């Protein structure tokens, strides 16, 4: 229930707690060293400036749901150069893209129920977006 950082240069195995009291699952860091965290209990994604305790909501609102403004157990994250956040929306069987400042996400993969068709996902997990914008989903 926390996010911890270990410095490879410190020469120790002691970590530093960055955020506490959150059911975090996925983590990502952008070029400005903002930390993005998926909270599977609150069904949202938040951005933290390193060293700060307050956060900014960047994806999901008002708990669990399946609308374009909701997430259901968000797991893995990827943040691109434009600060768009890609989220594996596990229980909705889709990957959502949230453009910076957006109130709703865009379904970029799945979203047609659970299954094995090319328009469906089955509890998506890991994801990655390459430099050409191609999305890869596990």
Query: Looking at residues 33-59, what average pLDDT do you find?
Result: 91
pLDDT at 6: 61
Q: Which two tokens stand for residue 134?
A: 């191609």
> Which residue is it, tokens 């259901």?
72
Task: With beta carbons less than 8 A apart as the criterion, state whether 71 and 89 touch.
Answer: yes
Task: With beta carbons less than 8 A apart as the criterion, state whether 80 and 89 touch.
Answer: no
What range does the domain containing 116 cover?
2-137
For 3-37, the pLDDT digits (tens) are 666 677 767 776 766 777 788 889 999 999 899 99
pLDDT at 9: 73
For 82-115, the pLDDT digits (tens) are 999 999 999 999 999 999 999 999 999 999 999 9
Between CA 41 and CA 118 the distance in angstroms is: 29
Looking at the chain, the whole-number percentage of residues with pLDDT higher than 90 is 72
Question: Total structural domains in the chain?
Answer: 1
Task: With beta carbons less than 8 A apart as the criterion, state whether 131 and 102 touch.
Answer: no
| E strand segments, the chain | 2-5, 16-20, 24-29, 34-39, 44-49, 55-59, 74-79, 85-89, 94-98, 106-110, 127-129, 135-137
Of 38-42, 47-51, 83-87, 131-135, least confident by mean pLDDT is 47-51
Give this prediction's pTM: 0.88
pLDDT averaged over the chain?
90
> Which residue is it, tokens 């797991």?
75
Q: What is the CATH number of the domain that holds 111?
A: 2.120.10.30
Between CA 100 and CA 63 the distance in angstroms is: 20
Q: Is the dihedral of CA 133, 29, 13, 75 positive or negative?
A: negative
């Amino acid at each position: 229930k926390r996010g911890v950082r270990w410095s490879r240069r410190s020469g120790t195995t002691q970590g530093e707690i960055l955020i506490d009291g959150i059911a975090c699952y996925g983590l990502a860091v952008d070029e400005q060293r903002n930390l993005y965290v998926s909270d599977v209990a609150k069904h949202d994604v938040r951005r933290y400036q390193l060293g700060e305790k307050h956060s900014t909501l960047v994806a999901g609102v008002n708990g669990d749901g399946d609308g374009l403004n909701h997430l259901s157990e968000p797991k893995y994250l990827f943040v691109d150069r434009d600060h768009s956040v890609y989220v594996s929306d596990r229980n909705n069987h889709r990957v959502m893209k949230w453009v910076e400042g957006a109130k709703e996400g865009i379904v970029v993969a799945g979203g047609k129920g659970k299954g094995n068709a090319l328009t469906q996902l089955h509890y998506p997990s890991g994801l990655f977006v390459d430099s050409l914008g191609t999305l890869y989903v596990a």
